[in-house]
Amino acid sequence: ARAAGLDSDPATLQRFILTEQCKHPAASGDFSLLMSSIALACKATAVAVKKAGIAGLYGIEGVVNVQGEDQKKLDVIANDNFVNALLSSTKVAMLISEELPEPIVVPADRAGKYIVAFDPLDGSSNIECNVSIGSIFAIYERTTDLKTACDVEKDGLQAGTKLVAAGYCMYGAATVMVLCMGASVIASTLDPSLGEFIITNKDLRLPTPGKRIYSINEGNLKSMPAGVQAFVAECKDGAKPYSLRYVGSMVADVHRTLCYGGIFLYPATASSKSGKLRLLYEANPMAFLMEHAGGSASSGSCRILEVEPKGIHCRCPVIMGSPRDVDNVLAKMAAAGEC
């Protein structure tokens, strides 16, 4: 019998990815190596997040990032972790980061075939109060000739339907990696004693019909589409009242929705006509996961994955979660002539 607590055959995420790779004889192993570099970036960021208070990494770096937000030290560290790990994987052709105004295009002679769009530390306004935050990533294959450098428009602005894989790492009570490579959604938890993500669920799916939870920043409600306001009113006054759960950290709100069901919304508001969340490295990867887990993800006008990106930092309204709730919001928006 195995010694209690010691596992001589741990079901690591890396082993799962290699097993999946073996199912595709033509696979070169490039994707497996790419995923290892992303897992490394997440582990390094988890260490930095856990140590932030002690290492004095809280507080404002004094630099304002491309989003016009005060750039916190952890944001910078997380971005460096991802850029360095991805470039040294030798498998990427272009990197698009929430923290960088322009993409990083790898010279053709050193480029791989993948493009990664990522938010290295989403929810950073929650860092100082120790609310869960996370890294979000989206993986595409380049469409242009491998002998030439990536074209930002052609390769960088692909719709979410072209995604090869997407996932997030949530730095909460546990460090949890949720990943989909085109089939089921895989959940894994970091075992700090091993430094490995251990698989906890090989087919994470929203429960049906899903808990009656709605997740929205009601502070902006008055400026949101009438259909959304009608949905929120029904959540409060309807025959079956809903619970409101809003963390204000997308990774935490989406993870809860994947685990329990319900709906997460960041619709258009008066101040941001396309909502606040970014298409390439927030809305698309989360929509990819949500759909593969049996949920829905709409911009209000169409599936989020079908939205054509206008620019690498373009925004998109987000309505995602249990189909029962997403359909209800869309029906109310249609009744109000809003979609």
**Burial of residue 15, with CB atoms counted within 10 A of its CB: 0-12 exposed, 13-18 middle, 19 or more buried:** middle
Q: Which is nearer to ligand P6P, 149 or 176 (CB)?
A: 176
Q: Of 248, 212, 251, give the one whose Cα is nearest residue 232.
A: 212
Segment interacting with ligand P6P (CB under 6 A) among 17-25, 144-152, 243-251, 308-316: 243-251
Out of 276, 313, 315, 332, which residue is the one contacting ligand P6P (CB under 6 A)? 276
Asked if 255 interacts with ligand P6P (CB under 6 A), we say no
Residue from the set 112, 120, 123, 210 that interacts with ligand P6P by CB under 6 A = 123
Quote the least distance from Cβ 246 to ligand P6P, whole Å: 7
Q: What mask of x and - would describe binding to ligand P6P in positions 187 to 226, judged by CB under 6 A?
A: ------------------------------x---------
Distance CA 310, CA 124 (A): 25
Q: Whole-number minimum distance, CB 249 to ligand P6P, in Å? A: 5
Among 32, 36, 125, 184, binds ligand P6P (CB under 6 A): 125
CA–CA separation, 310 and 46 (whole Å) = 32
As a whole number of angstroms, the distance between CA 292 and CA 290 comes to: 6
Tokens coding 19: 């097993």
Minimum distance between the CB of residue 181 and ligand P6P, rounded to whole angstroms?
24
Asked if residue 101 has a cis previous peptide bond (ω within 30° of 0), the answer is no
Min CB(153)–ligand P6P separation in Å = 25
Instruction: Return the C-alpha torsion angle 95, 305, 252, 69, nearest 10.
Output: 50
Stretch that binds ligand P6P, among 40-48, 117-125, 153-161, 177-185 (CB under 6 A): 117-125
Mask for 23-62, x = binds ligand P6P (CB under 6 A)? ----------------------------------------
- Residues 6 or more apart whose CB falls under 8 angstroms from that of 337 comprise none
**With CB under 6 A as the contact rule, which of the stretches 46-54, 192-200, 246-254, 330-338 interacts with ligand P6P?**
246-254
Q: Which is nearer to ligand P6P, 21 or 274 (CB)?
A: 274
Residue number, 122 or 196, with CB nearest to ligand P6P: 122
Residue 249 binding ligand P6P, by CB under 6 A:
yes
Tell me the C-alpha distance between 92 and 105, whole Å.
9
Q: Give the separation between CA 221 and CA 163, rounded to whole angstroms.
A: 32
Q: Order the strands of the 175-180 sheet from edge to edge.
A: 104-105, 92-97, 114-122, 133-141, 165-171, 175-180, 185-191, 196-201
Interface residues toward ligand P6P, by CB under 6 A? 122-123, 125, 217, 248-250, 253, 266, 276
